Amino acid sequence: MILDYIGVKEINGSLIVLDGVQGASFEEIVDIRLDDGSMRQGRIVQMEGERIVVQVFEGARGISLDNTRTRLRGRPMELPLSPEILGRVFSGAGKPIDGLGPIFPEQRRNVNGTPINPVSRVYPRNYINTGISTIDTLMTLIRGQKLPIFSGSGMSHNELAVQIARQAKITDEGGENNFCIVFAAMGVSNDVAEYFRRSFDESGVLQKVVMFLNLSNDPIIERILTPKCALTAAEYLAFERDMHVLVIMTDMTSYAEALREFSSSKGEIPGRKGFPGYLYSDLASLYERAGMVRGKKGSVTQIPILTMPNDDVTHPVPDLTGYITEGQIVLDRGLDSSGVYPPVSVLPSLSRLMKDGIGKGSTREDHSALQNQLFAAYAKVMDARSLASVIGEEELSPVDKQYMEFGKLFESQFVSQGPNENRSIEESLNLGWKLLATLPRAELDRVDDEILDKYYAPYAEKAPQQAGEAG
């Protein structure tokens, strides 16, 4: 027997309260039919006896106390899935919006997912070549990793994400054919969504992309569902269809703000900056869905993009994200405005998984030493610059002057590259050594002599400014 419950008890923001409901289960999906014939969906978020609180995905606009009929679906939220989802466009709640009709599901999966058992995880070790020097050399992306881009409004994070998506190459098993992209847009403008679509189209990968779009004027409840749907699709493609999936999610800050709006309408006690106390757990439930599992060939790699309000890295969203993800790529406003693309701020950027994915056998034996030395040298550049801003560049010691020079070259040649420039790992590593060769050998205290002889010495001989400085 299917029961319709007529009317609601209370309306608050996008939440409606029903009373006298029997047999409902927690987080079950309900269909709400308005008297004008339109249909909406909602999810039970709180229950007390026969009183249930329902979150309406499309918002409560137009709902009055007695113009609705609500029906329980008897199931939590599920996403219909089949290999045909590739190349399709969905709304944040997982409904097709490209006019190509519904999906004929091969299976349905609960969008909340279930946590991967830590013992079933495979520790990620295979690197993804992105063709971008800074990322490949200094913060290598690993298959199964979650590596966010911390950016700010107006910076070129979208271009960077597109470039990664376009150039990303999996180095072994000739992975080309089973590589695909799941793209989730949360609260981004129509232009941005269109930019991604067009870029995927131009580079000919559109048939390998699944898009979930929740634009900035779409309902916020759907925004909360968008990454869940996207990751459910990604898990399906990775663990049922053996594909290597790259998930790009933008913008996580909008997602967190939607969560805050929803939380405050539920009357929950706010934590820092008004965000709910469970923001960490909630973000973790998304980010932790990246990874590889034993016995499955596929992988889920995440590149979430978030804009830091006021470029503040201590804002709760970037802060908590940084604690969950395995590193971060931080973009820098100063570099961006001086025309460096991609404006990767090298020092605070990091990849936690790179140490096991690089070196002999995957990239090159000198990779680890080189990246270590580049970080250390660039940190000294920063020291020299702050000193120069006080005493003037002229007064710097000769070594500090060399560092200033190195810093300029590093930013203009190594960090900076064209949006279509695809550098091989060899090129990037050699470029790193070429730049280090402008520094005296005694300054390279992170590298042992054997590596220095093999990689530093050939370039140092060619570098003229080197002579006589090393004492």
Partner 1 sequence: MQNQDVIYGINGPVVTVRNSHSFSMTEMVYVGNERLVGEIIGITDALTTIQVYEETTGLRPGEPVTGTGSPMNVTLGPGILDNIFDGIERPLKAIAEESGSSFISRGSNVPALDKERLWDVTVTVKAGDTLRGGDIYAECPETAIIRHKCMVPPGLSGTVEKAAPDGQYRVDDEVVVLRDEKGGLHPLTLCQTWPIRIPRPVKGRRQPVIPLITGQRVIDTLFPIAKGGAAAIPGGFGTGKTMTQHQLAKWCDADIIIYVGCGERGNEMSQVLDEFSELMDPKSGRPMTDRTVLIANTSNMPVAAREASIYTGITLAEYYRDMGYHVAMMADSTSRWAEALREISGRLEEMPAEEGFPAYLPSRLAEFYERAGFADTLNGKEGSISIIGAVSPQGSDFSEPVTQNTKRFTRCFWALDKSLAYARHYPAINWTASYSEYFTNLSAWYEKNVGPDFANYRKQINNLLQEENQLMEIVKLIGSDVLPDDQKLVIETARVIRVGFLQQNAFHPEDTFVPLEKQMLMMKVILHLYHKAKQLVAAAVPISGILATGLFDKLVKMKYDIPNNKPEMFDEYIREIDTALSGVVHA
Residue with tokens 């990604």: 234
Q: Which is nearer to partner 1, 239 or 410 (by Cβ)?
A: 239
Contact residue for partner 1 among 81, 238, 329, 350 (CB under 8 A): 350
Binding to partner 1 by residue 71, rule CB under 8 A?
Answer: no
Shortest reach from residue 77's CB to partner 1, in Å: 9
CA dist., res. 275 & res. 298, Å (int): 34
Sign of CA dihedral 343, 300, 253, 192: positive
CA dist., res. 223 & res. 220, Å (int): 5
Q: Which of 13, 46, 6 is nearest to 28 (CA)?
A: 46
Helix (H) or strand (E) run with residue 228 in it: helix 220-239
Q: Are the C-beta atoms of 413 and 431 separated by less than 8 Å?
A: yes
Q: Which is nearer to partner 1, 31 or 319 (by Cβ)?
A: 319
Contact residue for partner 1 among 68, 130, 368, 430 (CB under 8 A): 368
Binding to partner 1 by residue 20, rule CB under 8 A?
Answer: no
Binding to partner 1 by residue 293, rule CB under 8 A?
Answer: yes
How far the first Cα of the chain sits from its last, in Å, is 89
* Cα 391–Cα 393–Cα 396 angle in degrees, nearest 5: 75
Q: Which two tokens stand for residue 37?
A: 């014939």
Count other Cβ atoms within 10 Å, centred on residue 191.
10
Shortest reach from residue 251's CB to partner 1, in Å: 20
Shortest reach from residue 365's CB to partner 1, in Å: 13
Binding to partner 1 by residue 175, rule CB under 8 A?
Answer: no
Q: Which two tokens stand for residue 49?
A: 């006896």
Binding to partner 1 by residue 204, rule CB under 8 A?
Answer: no
Binding to partner 1 by residue 390, rule CB under 8 A?
Answer: yes
Q: Which two tokens stand for residue 114?
A: 């279930």
Site residues for partner 1, 322-341, by CB under 8 A, read 322-324, 326-328
Site residues for partner 1, 240-279, by CB under 8 A, read 268-272, 276-278
Q: Which is nearer to partner 1, 117 or 177 (by Cβ)?
A: 117
Burial profile 414-442: b = 16 or more Cβ within 10 angstroms, e = fewer: bbbbeeeeebebeebbbbbbbbbbbbbbe
Contact residue for partner 1 among 11, 205, 206, 284 (CB under 8 A): 284
Q: Are the C-beta atoms of 273 and 316 separated by less than 8 Å?
A: yes
Q: Which is nearer to partner 1, 142 or 162 (by Cβ)?
A: 142
Binding to partner 1 by residue 177, rule CB under 8 A?
Answer: no
Longest dimension (CA), the chain: 91
CA dist., res. 392 & res. 407, Å (int): 16
Binding to partner 1 by residue 314, rule CB under 8 A?
Answer: yes
In this structure, the strands spanning 244-250 and 209-215 are unpaired
Q: Which is nearer to partner 1, 162 or 286 (by Cβ)?
A: 286
Count other Cβ atoms within 10 Å, centred on residue 412.
12
Sign of CA dihedral 213, 218, 223, 228: negative
CA dist., res. 27 & res. 228, Å (int): 14
x/- binding map, residues 425-464, to partner 1, per CB under 8 A?
Answer: -----------------x--xx-x----------------
Q: Which is nearer to partner 1, 326 or 411 (by Cβ)?
A: 326
Q: Please identify, among the stretches 152-160, 216-224, 391-399, 430-438, the one whose residues bind partner 1 according to the rule CB under 8 A.
A: 391-399
Q: Which is nearer to partner 1, 23 or 174 (by Cβ)?
A: 23
Q: Which is nearer to partner 1, 198 or 360 (by Cβ)?
A: 360
Count other Cβ atoms within 10 Å, centred on residue 100.
11
Q: Please identify, among the stretches 151-159, 219-227, 252-260, 291-299, the one whose residues bind partner 1 according to the rule CB under 8 A.
A: 291-299
Q: Please identify, among the stretches 33-41, 185-193, 312-320, 404-412, the one whose residues bind partner 1 according to the rule CB under 8 A.
A: 312-320
Shortest reach from residue 379's CB to partner 1, in Å: 4
Residue type, 283: L
x/- binding map, residues 110-129, to partner 1, per CB under 8 A?
Answer: x-xxxxxxxxxxxxx-----
Site residues for partner 1, 25-64, by CB under 8 A, read 25-28, 46-50
Shortest reach from residue 264's CB to partner 1, in Å: 13
Q: Please identify, among the stretches 17-25, 179-187, 412-420, 450-458, the one whose residues bind partner 1 according to the rule CB under 8 A.
A: 17-25
Cβ contacts of residue 316 below 8 Å, gap of 6+?
256, 271, 272, 273, 275, 279
**How many amino acids of this chain bind partner 1 (CB under 8 A)?**
87
Q: Which is nearer to partner 1, 212 or 275 (by Cβ)?
A: 275
Binding to partner 1 by residue 17, rule CB under 8 A?
Answer: no
